[in-house]
């Protein structure tokens, strides 16, 4: 439907088929990197900025839903939001979702952006922000642009450092979610965080 609004492309049906073939679904195409969409569209089209606007509207809708629910009990919505917001980024992003005592979202902050396989994380800055917000807990999240959402040894080590610091500061780390290739991996579900 969105493609029909782009009058600069001569064959919107063919373009839709190409996007689905490349990304697998409309949702994955919507959350794909602008450069990847432009590559499929062949340039000279308004599609990338149009999809960026639709994507931002969808993220705002997800975010508003996440804010109204208990972040931990509304896990399906949380996972969908994280997948949509960072699942197709081409570099690693490290985000922190700060929550209050009722597990309602106070803030979703991008705390680090890195390369294709690393993002700098500063536990002290995470705790400083948690204290400034009056957060009682947080959910860590980052993406693996290469696709596999399983945690690396470095992911586990950094998470445990943040958990230890959080314990000292009375800020609970409720989960660490890794997003990659349309899938998510939860440290909580794996028993790495209790």
Q: Give residue limits of the domains in the chain.
A: 2-56, 90-190
15, 3 contact by CB (below 8 A): yes
Q: Specify which of 4-8, 34-38, 40-44, 98-102 reaches the highest per-range mean pLDDT.
A: 98-102
Partnered with residue 143 across adjacent β-strands are 179
In the prediction, which pLDDT does 138 show? 96
Where would I find the beta strands (DSSP E) of 49-194? 93-99, 105-113, 137-143, 172-180, 183-186
Tell the burial category of 162 from Cβ atoms under 10 Å away from its Cβ (0-12, 13-18, 19+). Answer: buried
Q: How confident is the model at residue 3 (pLDDT cuts 50, 70, 90)?
A: low
Q: Which residues contact 139 (CB under 8 A, 6 or more apart)?
A: 71, 72, 78, 96, 97, 99, 173, 174, 175, 176, 177
Query: With DSSP H G I counted as helix, E B as strand and the rest as coil, what are the percentages for the chain, rounded to 5?
Result: 50, 20, 30
Q: How confident is the model at residue 161 (pLDDT cuts 50, 70, 90)?
A: very high
27, 84 contact by CB (below 8 A): yes
In the prediction, which pLDDT does 44 show? 64
In the prediction, which pLDDT does 81 show? 82
Residue for token pair 């609970």: 172
Per-residue pLDDT for 60 more than 60?
yes
* Closest residue by Cα to residue 169 from 122, 111, 128: 128
What number is the average pLDDT over the span 150-163? Answer: 95
User: pTM (2 decimals)?
Assistant: 0.72
Strand 172-180 to 137-143 pairing: parallel
Partnered with residue 113 across adjacent β-strands are 93
Per-residue pLDDT for 26 more than 80?
no
Give domain 90-190's CATH number out of 1.10.10.970, 3.40.140.10, 3.20.20.70, 3.30.1330.50.
3.40.140.10
What is the distance between the alpha carbons of residues 26 and 52, in angstroms, rounded to a whole number?
A: 13
Per-residue pLDDT for 59 more than 70?
no
In the prediction, which pLDDT does 136 show? 97
* Closest residue by Cα to residue 167 from 133, 134, 137: 137
What number is the average pLDDT over the span 135-142? Answer: 96
Q: Is 117 or 172 the better-scoring residue by pLDDT?
A: 172
Q: Is 49 or 108 the better-scoring residue by pLDDT?
A: 108
Tell the burial category of 178 from Cβ atoms under 10 Å away from its Cβ (0-12, 13-18, 19+). Answer: buried
Per-residue pLDDT for 80 more than 90?
no
């Amino acid at each position: 439907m969105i493609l029909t609004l782009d009058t600069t492309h001569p064959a919107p049906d063919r373009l839709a088929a190409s996007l689905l073939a490349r990304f697998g679904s409309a949702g994955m195409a919507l959350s794909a990197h602008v450069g990847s969409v432009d590559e499929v569209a062949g340039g000279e089209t308004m599609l990338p900025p149009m999809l960026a606007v639709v994507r931002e509207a969808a993220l705002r809708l997800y975010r508003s839903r996440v804010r109204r629910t208990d972040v931990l009990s509304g896990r399906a919505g949380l996972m969908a939001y994280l997948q949509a917001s960072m699942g197709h980024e081409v570099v690693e992003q490290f985000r922190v979702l700060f929550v209050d005592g009722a597990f309602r979202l106070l803030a979703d902050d991008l705390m680090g952006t890195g390369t294709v396989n690393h993002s700098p994380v500063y536990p002290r800055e995470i705790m400083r922000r948690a204290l400034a917000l009056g957060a009682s807990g947080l959910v860590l999240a980052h993406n693996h642009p290469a696709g596999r959402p399983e945690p690396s040894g470095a992911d586990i080590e950094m998470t445990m450092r943040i958990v230890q610091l959080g314990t000292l500061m009375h800020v609970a780390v409720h989960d660490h979610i890794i997003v990659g290739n349309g899938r998510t991996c939860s440290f909580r579900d794996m028993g790495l965080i209790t």
